[in-house]
Structure 1
């Protein structure tokens, strides 16, 4: 119990430290004028400047007032003036030390005013003494923790009671209002600072989420490009020597097809990676593939040994680029999966357009050759994400008679609300 009372007083009078100053508003810290260029700071702190000006005014007024009280007091009036002015000058940089200086100098100032400055029975405080003390008390309440502020209030009220009990009520009201006002300012500033921190964290979280979404988008594009083209290249690299059977012309034609596919894969990889700007700020703006290039996918799949039956829409006018790209990638991934897991199978690609949007239906039967190793399933995840980002749906799974089917609906005319994420 005693420690709970003594420790705050010890902190207030000796060991405690004030918190950092609150950042100044721009209008309170303008740039230093050219004629004050010798100042160490590039900005002129108007609060500190006002404190210094007030301290100088308080010093000269108090010094003159004390000298008028007793011309025989020598340099005593300068000491009293310093006791009033110094805390004002220190209160912004070192508020707690400023209060300590004012509190410790209070007995001397009261002794001077009681001895030669006021009539018996009147409060031994001058107006500037009260202003100086209340200013430093306010600074303590704004910059120090609550227990130190309470200790400063208690010490001030106790000193007022000891020095002049008749003015205790007025002194208590003034100190209490000053402390409460300063503490309220401290609480509001802390809440504002916390709000700024939370807003910054929210912005960082939004930025991180955007980065993750962009990484996921790039990963989908890379997977679709690499998986499809590498599957076709691998199958053709295995099939070309068998088809050529030692015929140089067929071997050369097969290798030429592989080269074309490789160059196409490189070109699409550059398009995907073009979203990442280089140090000069350039980016690749080559159009991404759409449904107008589905015929190329089907031709590549047929060259790799699949039997592809295609039913394509007669017109693709008015089709958004995002829908065309997603449809292209879904067909591409479906054909790639058929090549890997059902070599030589028959694939039916049915693309149509109705009131619900763009409809895709890709079905493959069982393969005629051993299937490759099962994948990690990222292709199916990517297809579902593409459909979901457009507000569409995608279902994929095996069919009872053997094989696999993918059914997707992508909204085109806003019939389905697009989801943001």
Structure 2
């Protein structure tokens, strides 16, 4: 038979408290509450002692001994109770303290059952439904339940505890006092639980944020390395491919010219390998020391233009302003933009005429590179690929601007890089 939804919601806290609920995992303990054992006890399996557990054991023993002594001294009714009953009552009033740290809900269930069983004995000896040790134990157990259990379970525990007092031989004043006495630790424990959950969530969010930042840093580093490798490989491989094709034609069977051309190809290959080692140096060597070889800059621009001319391009270079005092990042980015522009001209417009103008104007560096169609077929596509993407990334990192697109039958690139000293 299906129960009404409203009745299910009303009885759910009680059901969870009695049979269905489970306590959550314990919250991390503060390191200050765990102390190492002395050196002469280091051979034991335990290397440290939990001060909360020690406090629970000491409190259990104090309440058990105090409750037992009080009950024994009051056991003078006309027909004294058997001693086992006195011992059972004292144990039922204090044993839940030993369980509340690891099994708080089980400790409350055992404590509630023990209170009901021991109530007649306590009432017969001192005229109260519960002893002082039993009240202290029960309050602490309710607090532990509120700290470790969900809100519905805590509500069910509080309701059943108050109902238990109500059906015992108590007057209205005692019921109200019991309800207040039990509500205080329940609310306190609930607030402690809420604060710890928020702290845990914040720590988890912080951990995830750090992981995300680390992952983003890895992706950015991979993109930077890929960009550098593309610039190096694309330029040098383009030159090598053109040289390898042109050398046999220029040699025309002359062994001397063929050997000279092969030496140029070898020199270009060594140069490419050197630059690749510089780029890969950021991955660090096996001994953990980074490669501190300098990255290329505008100081090597003439060498770059000479390589492009040897590959068949007609390059005119104009420089303006002080280009020697540029920040390293700006100089490297300008060099890579010029390098990629020449590489694009080699691949897409072989034999073209390229005009390159790099000038410094105040706090900006202007780069203008343009080429004509060269020997490119009219049906061939223009400059499309990862090179332009790498240019845009470099310019974007420095906060500059880039324009690239066809101009007539050729192609032009204009970049403006802000000159920032800490770039």
When normalised by structure 1's length, the TM-score is 0.93
2:358 matches 1:330 = no
1:358-393 per-position Cα deviation (integer Å, ceiling 9, x unaligned): 111111112135487766521111111111111111
Q: CA deviation at 1:284?
A: 1.3
- Report what 2:91 is aligned to: 82
Contact kept? 2:96, 2:110, Cα under 8 Å:
yes
- Report what 1:204 is aligned to: 211
1:387-418 per-position Cα deviation (integer Å, ceiling 9, x unaligned): 11111111111113x2111111111156xx97
Deviates more, 1:366-375 or 1:171-180: 366-375
Correspondence for 2:132 among 117, 127, 130: 127
- Report what 1:233 is aligned to: 240
1:42-90 per-position Cα deviation (integer Å, ceiling 9, x unaligned): 3321111111110011111111111111164323222112112210111
Q: CA deviation at 1:125?
A: 2.4
Q: CA deviation at 1:35?
A: 4.0
Measured at CA, do residues 266 and 347 of structure 1 come closer, stay the same or move farther in structure 2, by a change above 3 Å? same
Contact kept? 2:298, 2:334, Cα under 8 Å:
yes
Measured at CA, do residues 249 and 81 of structure 1 come closer, stay the same or move farther in structure 2, by a change above 3 Å? same
* Structure 2 unmatched runs, 5+: 1-5
Deviates more, 1:374-383 or 1:16-25: 374-383
2:377 & 2:253 partners in 1: Cα distance?
25
> Aligned Cα RMSD in Å?
1.9
2:171 matches 1:165 = yes
- Report what 1:64 is aligned to: 69
Contact kept? 2:68, 2:90, Cα under 8 Å:
yes
- Report what 1:95 is aligned to: 104
Measured at CA, do residues 69 and 223 of structure 1 come closer, stay the same or move farther in structure 2, by a change above 3 Å? same
2:313 matches 1:303 = no
Deviates more, 1:227-236 or 1:36-45: 36-45
Contact kept? 1:290, 1:324, Cα under 8 Å:
yes
- Report what 1:398 is aligned to: 406
1:136 & 1:198 partners in 2: Cα distance?
32
Partner SS state of residue 312, structure 1? strand
1:413 & 1:144 partners in 2: Cα distance?
57
2:16 & 2:38 partners in 1: Cα distance?
40
Q: CA deviation at 1:317?
A: 3.0
Measured at CA, do residues 76 and 172 of structure 1 come closer, stay the same or move farther in structure 2, by a change above 3 Å? same
Contact kept? 2:344, 2:383, Cα under 8 Å:
no
1:135 & 1:57 partners in 2: Cα distance?
15
2:416 matches 1:409 = yes
1:74 & 1:376 partners in 2: Cα distance?
96
2:38 & 2:289 partners in 1: Cα distance?
42
Measured at CA, do residues 362 and 110 of structure 1 come closer, stay the same or move farther in structure 2, by a change above 3 Å? same
Q: CA deviation at 1:315?
A: 4.0
Correspondence for 1:113 among 106, 118, 122: 122
Contact kept? 1:62, 1:77, Cα under 8 Å:
no
Correspondence for 2:255 among 227, 248, 251: 248
1:234-268 per-position Cα deviation (integer Å, ceiling 9, x unaligned): 00000000000011111001000100110111111
- Report what 1:181 is aligned to: 188
Query: Which structure 2 residues correspond to residues 11-26 of structure 1 after superposition, within 5 A?
Result: 11-26=16-31
Q: CA deviation at 1:341?
A: 0.9
1:277 & 1:165 partners in 2: Cα distance?
79
Q: CA deviation at 1:356?
A: 3.7
2:225 & 2:182 partners in 1: Cα distance?
64
Count of residues paired in the alignment: 411
* Structure 1 unmatched runs, 5+: none
1:317 & 1:297 partners in 2: Cα distance?
16
1:24-57 per-position Cα deviation (integer Å, ceiling 9, x unaligned): 0110123333344355443321111111110011
1:315 & 1:356 partners in 2: Cα distance?
11
1:311 & 1:408 partners in 2: Cα distance?
15
Partner SS state of residue 281, structure 1? coil
